[in-house]
Each structure stands twice: as structure tokens, then as C-alpha cells.
């Protein structure tokens, strides 16, 4: 397998899902990291460091390219308030991926690299005719960042790095039913985000062979859709005059993340990492759509989100069983940014626990394969109609959500 085929394989993997971090953030970059509970800010495992901590890239000795893909199997259950009927998703699979390539002199102090990854996303397809149909039936939110990165080792112990995060591709497809007096119509919003630029920076410090620490920051980018398409179906002639919009605009914040990481290497074979991520979710106040004509009573819609900043705690480790085989295990606890009474079907979020396992096999000096699997379980979360009335958030549905996700991943590494 050469670089070209790896890149071609990447083209087939274009999607994301709210999988491994609160809200619609996806922390799935680097299959090695995935096997260790998603730690990586305080480690210099491989090229995926560009995602976790660009500062660590200069400490990654190998130059090479790494391609990782995940399959997310999200399973969700919903029971409306006071109902005995359980609703389940029409199951779909999404494929968050990461591509990381680094270059630089073998003995030099810097590394340059390019990273392509999917930091935010959500894919959910609700059951036909479910109780929340007028809030949401389908959502497909995608983002792809391309991040040229430069990292420099100031000393043998201290390195810094910075990357330019380019929102190279962002897409939203949002569908819901419209309640008409005697039937339901349907609206589909489909748009592409404008290209936007932010940055990712980090510092990595390795005072001894047994200890390393890192800190990184990835800035906020507002994913902004202009001239998205609005399509109505199933609207009877009697109501057509109330649903005339053809275009929409909306902005969704892809919030800033600050991370702190610690690496401990007690022996040559054992590596333990611990990370704390802090995401500025409070940037997400309202979801607003502006339409070029009426959708129901108005050509503007706003819906309260009122997210709160949230922490994620991660712990994981790897053990080099043989020269060729490495085993990994880890776990994470995600604190949901969604407050009580504000849960929406787009992000039926709750505090989450993840358990992960992983393994690597080095086929030869240049080529190795990584596998990982994450098991994510969301805590059961209920909100009553009274909660919604109290918060003035009756544009969503009262009931109980529970979600589990399993995410197997496969990574291919080629070093040169």
C-alpha cells in the first residue's frame, strides 16, 4: 500500500457522528488514541498528535502517513412522556475519519504535517411518525477540518506547534415534519458551510523519559451556511402560501477546546495517558434560521440551546506485549453540555461513559495496523413537558432518551 492508495481510500470516508464527546463534537482521531480512551494531549504517539496537540508533533520521531477510519453504530431509544411505546432510530452508520501525514528532516528540530479530520458531526434518523417528528426526523451534520501544521522542538524537552484549522467542508441536512391542521408536511434544509479558518496550537514538555505533559487549544469556528436549499413536500394547496421559502441561512458554532494532558511511561513497554478537555459550548446559545420567505408564521426561527461549557476526562494506556503487538485500553467520562430541559432530538445528549480497547500490529519496519473499539453509553435522560414549559423550550419533545454507540476503528500507518 502506498500513499496514493491511502489517500484514495480516504475519499470514501466522508461523514461524522456525535460519537465520542459531548454535544456534537467527535473526538475520533488516531486509532491508537481511540483505543486509549481518546487521550493524546500529553503523549507523542504518532502523527495524530496534530489533532490532540500540535506541540507534540516535533517529538514524534517517525515521519509518515496515517489513515484511520471509524464506523459508528449509534443505537437510540426514546419513550415519550407518559407513553409506553419505545421509538428507535432507523439505523445508519457514519464514518468519522482522520488522515495525518508528517514530514521533516530525520534529525532536525521541526516537523511539518497535514491533518484532515472530522471534529464535529451528528447523524440521526428517527423512526417514522415518532412523537418528536415536528422537531426533527433526520439530521446529518458534517465537518472536515484540514490542518497544515508546523511543530518545532525548542529544546530536547520542550516543543511547540501550531496548525491552521481550515473548515474545508461543512454540510448540514436537517429534516422535520410540519404540523398542518389535518396532516403533516415535510421540510428539508440542506446547505454547505463557507470555508473558514481557525487555529490549533499546543505546547509539549517532556522533562524525563518517564513523564510528559501537554496543553493544547483549538479555536472556535462558526460554521456558516448561506443560501442553503429549503425543500417542502406534502404541503397541500390550502397551505402552500404559508410555506414559500426556498433558501435559508444559519450559523452553528464549532466551539473552542482547551486540553490538558499527562503521559506517564513507567517502563519502556507501558504508556499511560490522562487528558482533560474543556469545551466552550456556552458559545452555542440559539439555533437560528433565516429564510428568504415564510415558513409557517414567520421567515425567521430561533430555538434555545443555552449550552454550558463542559469537561471530558480521559484515561488510557498501552502495553507493548511484543515488538510487533501492542494492546490498549481506556475510558472516558463526558460531561454533557446540554442542560436539563434543553435536550433536543438533534443532540439527545447526556453524560456519557466510554470504554475502549485497541491493538496495533507492526507488519514490518514501515507498515503497521491499528484497531480500536469504543463502547459509549449515555445516561438515561428525561425531561417533562412541564420542564419544557418552564424553560420555554416546547419546540422539542418531552420524554426519555437513551443512546449507546459502538465505534470500531481501523488505522493504517506507513512510515518512511
Q: Which residues bind other proteins (CB under 8 A)?
A: 73, 75-86, 88, 129, 131-135, 179-183, 236-239, 325, 357-359, 361, 363, 369, 371, 373, 375, 377, 380, 382, 385, 388-389, 394-397, 400, 402-406, 408, 410
Would you say 124 and 74 are in contact if contact means Cβ atoms under 8 Å apart? yes
Whose Cβ is closer to other proteins: residue 308's or residue 404's?
A: 404
Whose Cβ is closer to other proteins: residue 285's or residue 380's?
A: 380
Whose Cβ is closer to other proteins: residue 202's or residue 399's?
A: 399
Is 8 buried (19+), middle (13-18) or exposed (0-12) by CB count in 10 A?
exposed
Whose Cβ is closer to other proteins: residue 9's or residue 77's?
A: 77
Whose Cβ is closer to other proteins: residue 146's or residue 410's?
A: 410
Kindly state the smallest distance separating residue 261's Cβ from other proteins, in Å: 25
Phi-psi region of 359 (alpha: psi -120 to 50; beta: other; left: phi over 0): beta
Whose Cβ is closer to other proteins: residue 138's or residue 263's?
A: 138
> Using CA atoms, how far apart are residues 249 and 229, in angstroms rounded to an integer?
9
Kindly state the smallest distance separating residue 146's Cβ from other proteins, in Å: 29
Residues with Cβ within 8 Å of 64's Cβ and at least 6 positions away in sequence, in order, are 46, 47, 101, 102, 366, 413, 414, 415, 416
Q: How far is CA 240 from CA 182, 252, 334, 351, in A?
A: 14, 29, 44, 42
Whose Cβ is closer to other proteins: residue 26's or residue 89's?
A: 89
Kindly state the smallest distance separating residue 27's Cβ from other proteins, in Å: 18
Kindly state the smallest distance separating residue 381's Cβ from other proteins, in Å: 10
Kindly state the smallest distance separating residue 176's Cβ from other proteins, in Å: 9
> Using CA atoms, how far apart are residues 398 and 387, in angstroms rounded to an integer?
8
Kindly state the smallest distance separating residue 201's Cβ from other proteins, in Å: 34
Kindly state the smallest distance separating residue 207's Cβ from other proteins, in Å: 34
Q: Residue 212: which H helix or E strand, with range?
A: strand 211-218
**Which of helix, strand or coil describes residue 36?**
coil
DSSP 147: E
Q: Name which of 167, 282, 140 is nearest 221 in CA terms.
A: 167
Amino acid at each position: 500500500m502506498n500513499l496514493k492508495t491511502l489517500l484514495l481510500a480516504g475519499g470514501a470516508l466522508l461523514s461524522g457522528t456525535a460519537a465520542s464527546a459531548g454535544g456534537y463534537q467527535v473526538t475520533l482521531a488516531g486509532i491508537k488514541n481511540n483505543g486509549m480512551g481518546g487521550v493524546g494531549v500529553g503523549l507523542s504517539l504518532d502523527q495524530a498528535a496534530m489533532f490532540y496537540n500540535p506541540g507534540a508533533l516535533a517529538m514524534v520521531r517517525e515521519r509518515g502517513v496515517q489513515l484511520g477510519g471509524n464506523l459508528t453504530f449509534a443505537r437510540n431509544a426514546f419513550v415519550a412522556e407518559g407513553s409506553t411505546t419505545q421509538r428507535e432510530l432507523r439505523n445508519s452508520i457514519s464514518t468519522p475519519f482522520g488522515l495525518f501525514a508528517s514530514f521533516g528532516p530525520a534529525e532536525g528540530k521541526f516537523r511539518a504535517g497535514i491533518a484532515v479530520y472530522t471534529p464535529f458531526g451528528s447523524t440521526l434518523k428517527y423512526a417514522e411518525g415518532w412523537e418528536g417528528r415536528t422537531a426533527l426526523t433526520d439530521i446529518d451534520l458534517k465537518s472536515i477540518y484540514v490542518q497544515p501544521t508546523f511543530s518545532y522542538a525548542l529544546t530536547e524537552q520542550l516543543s511547540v506547534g501550531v496548525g491552521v484549522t481550515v473548515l474545508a467542508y461543512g454540510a448540514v441536512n436537517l429534516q422535520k415534519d410540519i404540523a398542518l391542521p389535518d396532516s403533516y408536511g415535510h421540510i428539508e434544509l440542506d446547505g454547505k458551510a463557507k470555508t473558514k479558518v481557525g487555529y490549533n496550537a499546543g505546547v509539549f514538555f517532556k522533562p524525563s523519559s518517564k513523564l510528559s505533559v501537554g496543553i493544547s487549544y483549538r479555536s472556535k469556528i462558526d460554521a456558516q451556511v448561506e443560501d442553503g436549499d429549503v425543500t417542502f413536500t406534502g404541503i397541500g394547496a390550502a397551505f402552500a402560501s404559508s410555506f414559500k421559502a426556498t433558501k435559508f441561512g444559519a450559523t452553528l458554532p464549532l466551539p473552542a477546546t482547551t486540553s490538558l494532558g499527562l503521559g506517564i511511561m513507567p517502563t519502556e513497554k507501558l504508556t499511560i495517558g490522562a487528558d482533560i478537555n474543556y469545551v466552550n459550548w456556552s458559545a452555542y446559545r440559539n439555533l437560528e434560521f433565516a429564510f428568504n420567505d415564510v415558513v409557517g408564521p414567520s421567515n425567521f426561527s430561533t430555538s434555545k440551546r443555552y449550552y454550558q461549557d463542559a469537561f471530558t476526562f480521559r484515561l488510557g494506556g498501552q502495553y507493548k506485549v511484543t515488538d510487533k503487538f501492542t494492546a490498549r485500553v481506556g475510558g472516558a467520562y463526558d460531561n454533557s453540555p446540554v442542560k436539563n430541559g434543553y435536550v433536543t432530538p438533534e443532540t439527545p445528549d447526556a453524560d456519557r461513559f466510554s470504554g475502549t480497547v485497541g491493538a496495533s500490529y507492526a507488519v514490518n519496519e514501515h507498515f503497521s495496523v491499528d484497531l480500536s473499539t469504543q463502547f459509549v453509553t449515555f445516561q438515561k435522560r428525561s425531561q417533562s413537558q412541564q420542564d419544557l414549559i418552564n424553560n420555554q423550550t416546547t419546540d422539542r419533545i418531552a420524554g426519555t432518551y437513551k443512546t449507546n454507540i459502538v465505534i470500531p476503528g481501523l488505522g493504517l500507518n506507513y512510515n518512511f
